[in-house]
């Protein structure tokens, strides 16, 4: 009987041990599953965060056949700031336009993108504040930017055919740009957060010429008459010149550039002055003469006291002291931004488009190791990373392939082909100087050389070094920041 009890005890002990072991195994499995669940959640959260991060900074919109209303974009939580909006109109028998601008959007703000198709009735690409059908009057009246399709008329509010926003709740766009007839095929659009901030904070300025400004003076000499439509001064997204006194013309600050008004002054070197009544640190000044008219000796100056004037645009230009043939005014006006590049600063490191001043809407573009001026599309092959070297020169790298701009044979002579090296070595023929000629216009030359990269090169042909003694501005280039 005792032996049986011992056997029973032994069996009970074994069974107890197995139960305990089984319990421990279950606990271990639960722990492992819990950890896996946590890791899975963390992985999912990481993926979601990355997707959200991307969607919060850059969103693209493509044409969708059958859309009857706009595609909505809502500013995500915690992502208030300055957004760059880019639109491409569609082509039908003529190419579509490109428009871009940077504006402040509050968290939760929704805007609507209408993407152009290859029918003349829906070829424009637009941004509106109110959704609806394309022809809905309320929606149509809420347009803030239009990239025309098929050779139509583009506008950005504050630029071109657009007045200031007067009560729309959005900020005036800075660094606006309109390029006509550049896009083939259907339209598209992109919005990108370029500077996250509160509404009272603008992106860091490139220069200080627009700080402490009360007076704006614009002087021109036309072939016969001198015309003005509007002068605007933008601070924190608002037109602070609206309704302010203008000498001697009083109609130039009503905020409208599309109401058909035209102010005329006859004679050489005629000027108008706007008094803002107090000083401002301005973001931008916009001046509208009559579009498609030519003016000589155009100067723009600003002052805090009407005694000391700071020049934004001067008539004394290297190679052509007074523009004897006149400069054509575009419909989008002349804009002086606190983010433009000026003569008293070092070119900041960053990504740029390099436009020809002589060839309308032509931009420096890479194709493998070849370089030419082609019609702007906004692709990475047209973007250039400019970085300053310690010796004061610059290296210029293509955004698409990382190749370095160079003179093909390493010789700085007129007619030498400019192309790309597959890597940057710091050779003298890969180093460039960037020389300011007028606000927004530059020469790009081989470092310590006199011959500029030629912007008058034939479209789609090899770019070459040119003669810098020409009595014109055909070698002028404009550097436009990809972002701000």
Helix, strand, or coil (residue 86): strand
Place of tokens 């220069």: 207
- pLDDT at residue 45, rounded to an integer: 44
Res. 468: pLDDT tops 70: no
What would the mean pLDDT of 60-68 be, rounded to a whole number? 92
Nearest of 444, 452, 356 to residue 394 by alpha carbon = 444
Res. 343: pLDDT tops 70: no
pLDDT digits (tens, 9 = 90+) for 215-241: 999 988 766 778 888 898 988 777 889
Res. 325: pLDDT tops 90: no
pLDDT digits (tens, 9 = 90+) for 243-268: 887 776 667 888 777 655 677 777 77
Res. 160: pLDDT tops 60: no
pTM for the structure as a whole: 0.72
Q: Could you give phi then psi for residue 296, rounded to 5 degrees? A: -100, 160
Res. 439 pLDDT band, cuts 50 70 90: low
**For a pLDDT cut of 70, what percent of the chain falls above it?**
76
Respond yes or no on whether the N-terminal peptide bond of residue 248 is cis (omega within 30° of 0): yes
**Whole-number average pLDDT of the chain:** 80
Res. 147: pLDDT tops 70: yes
Check residues 345 and 41 and name the one with the higher pLDDT. Answer: 345
Res. 428 pLDDT band, cuts 50 70 90: very high
Place of tokens 């009890």: 5
- pLDDT at residue 37, rounded to an integer: 54
Give the CA angle between residues 333, 354, 404 to the nearest 5°: 170
The CA distances from residue 63 to 71, 89, 113, in Å, are 10, 10, 10
Give the CA angle between residues 362, 482, 437 to the nearest 5°: 60
Cβ contact 351:482 at 8 Å: yes
Q: Could you give phi then psi for residue 396, rounded to 5 degrees? A: -125, 110
Q: Which fold has domain 350-481?
A: Trefoil (Acidic Fibroblast Growth Factor, subunit A) (2.80.10)
Helix, strand, or coil (residue 355): strand
Choice among 42-56, 133-147, 272-286 with the minimum mean pLDDT: 42-56
- pLDDT at residue 318, rounded to an integer: 36
- Residue 10: CB atoms within 10 Å: 10
């Amino acid at each position: 009987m005792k032996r049986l009890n011992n056997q029973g005890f032994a069996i009970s002990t074994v069974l107890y041990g197995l139960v305990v072991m089984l319990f421990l195994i279950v606990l271990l499995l639960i722990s492992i599953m819990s950890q896996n669940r946590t890791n899975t959640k963390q992985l999912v959260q990481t993926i979601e965060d990355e997707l959200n991060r991307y969607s919060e900074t850059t969103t693209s919109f493509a044409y969708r056949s059958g859309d009857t209303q706009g595609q909505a974009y809502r500013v995500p939580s915690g992502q208030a700031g300055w957004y760059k909006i880019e639109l491409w109109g569609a082509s039908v028998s003529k190419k579509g336009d490109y428009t871009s601008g940077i504006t402040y959007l509050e968290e939760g703000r929704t805007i609507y993108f209408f993407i152009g198709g290859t029918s003349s009735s829906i070829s424009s690409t637009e941004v509106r504040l109110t959704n609806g059908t394309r022809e809905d009057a309320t929606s149509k009246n809420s347009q803030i930017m239009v990239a025309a399709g098929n050779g139509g008329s583009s506008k950005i509010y504050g630029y071109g055919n657009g007045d200031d926003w007067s009560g729309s709740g959005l900020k005036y766009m800075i660094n606006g740009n309109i390029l006509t007839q550049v896009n083939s095929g259907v339209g598209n659009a992109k919005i990108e957060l370029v500077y996250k901030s509160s509404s009272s904070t603008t992106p860091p300025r490139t220069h200080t010429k627009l700080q402490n400004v009360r007076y704006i003076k614009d002087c021109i000499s036309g072939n016969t008459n001198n015309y003005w439509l509007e002068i605007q001064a933008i601070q924190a997204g608002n037109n602070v010149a609206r309704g302010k006194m203008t000498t001697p013309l009083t109609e130039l600050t009503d905020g409208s550039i599309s109401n058909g008004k035209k102010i005329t002054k006859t004679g050489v070197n005629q000027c108008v002055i706007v008094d803002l009544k107090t000083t401002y640190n301005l973001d931008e000044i916009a001046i509208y003469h009559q579009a498609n008219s030519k003016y000589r000796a155009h100067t723009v100056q600003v002052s805090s006291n009407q005694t000391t004037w700071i020049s934004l645009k001067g008539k004394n230009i290297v190679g052509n002291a007074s523009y004897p043939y006149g400069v054509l005014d575009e419909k989008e006006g002349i804009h002086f931004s606190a983010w433009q590049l000026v003569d008293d600063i070092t070119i900041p490191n960053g990504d740029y488009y390099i436009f020809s001043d002589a060839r309308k809407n032509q931009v420096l573009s890479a194709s493998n190791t070849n370089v030419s001026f082609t019609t702007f599309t906004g692709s990475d092959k047209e973007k250039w990373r400019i970085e300053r070297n310690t010796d004061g020169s610059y290296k210029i790298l293509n955004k698409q392939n990382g190749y370095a701009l160079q003179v093909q044979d390493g010789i700085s002579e007129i007619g030498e082909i400019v192309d790309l090296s597959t890597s940057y070595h710091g050779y003298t023929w890969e180093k460039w100087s960037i020389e300011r000629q007028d606000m927004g216009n530059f020469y790009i030359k081989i470092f310590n050389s006199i011959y500029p990269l030629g912007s008058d090169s034939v479209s789609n042909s090899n770019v070459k070094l040119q003669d810098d003694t020409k009595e014109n501005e055909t070698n002028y280039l404009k550097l436009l920041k990809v972002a701000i």
